[in-house]
Structure 1
């Protein structure tokens, strides 16, 4: 299998962390793709032109990080990272949804800030910042639920927090979320996260 990714994409990082946690680097090769340049190989893998995108051995392509992560968890050996059923599954999927939403807002904010200043929408930037702040507030309140074996909820949360550190350091989210910040400092030392950290 082949994974198209960008080293700065938090969604791709989520998949790359999962691959490492499964011990599956030999089963999934990683190929860089500059999504904004619309490379033909990426478009063929994902008509939406986004990373991550996964190509299976038979040529089938999967895109969108929740789908890719759940597929890889199902077909690869290694510890299960999606709880099978019941409350633990819904807890993990809820954390993934919250973290993905934070990433959506944070990535949208980067794109908007990259537009010429006169074309930026303060309304949208404000909404995205508030969404991130509210999401961090929920994570701070519920961080104890992330304790225990790492699963997709924790992986997604780590990818989101790492992206905020990378692209939005000025937001200083750690100041208002000390428990979450401590949890993230510990997780960031884990080999799967250390190996997938965005470039400095």
Structure 2
């Protein structure tokens, strides 16, 4: 298998963590999606990463689709759980993924500043979504988990990305228990080896 990915991307990172966690043989190819390379566009017409090419040449894209595929085919659904087994956990994963979306969109707004078109409205909206969502994860006890599953992996991707791209966003005050958990778990090899920056 071959994975088109980018080290700073939290979406790519989730898949890269799962690959390492499951000890899979996957060739990782650093890819800039803005280059619109032929291979990426052939695999994903949206021109987005990550994109996983299977051994038969077929391509899978979207981090969640790839992650669930790897979980079902190589981990017997241990990372996401069997379909319908824990709706609360599935909802929590969606919240974390939505927060990653907000963090990436906030970064995109920051990049638009050079063009003079950064929107204060959208900047504030994404920041507030991040803070509300992280506060909700704290309320749900997201930092109390004892095992590494897909939600834990996505949460590490989110928090590391916020620290990497939005260091002024002081989320730790809102989520002290989550922050303690994060400081411990982020040093595990699968996370340390894939950390952006």
Q: TM-score range by the shorter chain?
A: over 0.9
Q: 5+ unaligned residues in a row in structure 2: which ranges? A: none
Instruction: Give the alignment partner of residue 110 of structure 1, picking from 82, 89, 107.
Output: 107
Q: Which residue in the other structure is 1:95 paired with?
A: 92
Instruction: Please state how far the C-alpha of 1:41 moved relative to its aligned partner.
Output: 1.4
Q: Which residue in the other structure is 1:83 paired with?
A: 81
Q: 5+ unaligned residues in a row in structure 1: which ranges? A: none
Number of residues of Structure 1 aligned to a counterpart in Structure 2: 196
Instruction: Give the alignment partner of residue 53 of structure 1, picking from 51, 54, 77.
Output: 51
Q: Which residue in the other structure is 1:197 paired with?
A: 195
1:14-93 paired onto structure 2 within 5 Å: 14-24=14-24, 26=25, 28-77=26-75, 80-88=78-86, 90-93=87-90
Q: Which residue in the other structure is 2:8 paired with?
A: 8
Instruction: Please state how far the C-alpha of 1:70 moved relative to its aligned partner.
Output: 0.4
Q: What whole-Å deviation, never above 9, does each CA across 1:96-142 have from its counterpart, x for those lacking one?
A: 21111111111111111111363111111111111101110111111
For residues 88 and 152 of structure 2, the distance between their equivalents in structure 1, rounded to whole angstroms, comes to 10
Deviates more, 1:171-180 or 1:159-168: 171-180
For residues 83 and 116 of structure 2, the distance between their equivalents in structure 1, rounded to whole angstroms, comes to 50
Higher relative contact order (CA 8 A, sep 6+): 1
For residues 28 and 116 of structure 2, the distance between their equivalents in structure 1, rounded to whole angstroms, comes to 38
3-state SS of 1:171 partner: coil
For residues 149 and 45 of structure 1, the distance between their equivalents in structure 2, rounded to whole angstroms, comes to 33
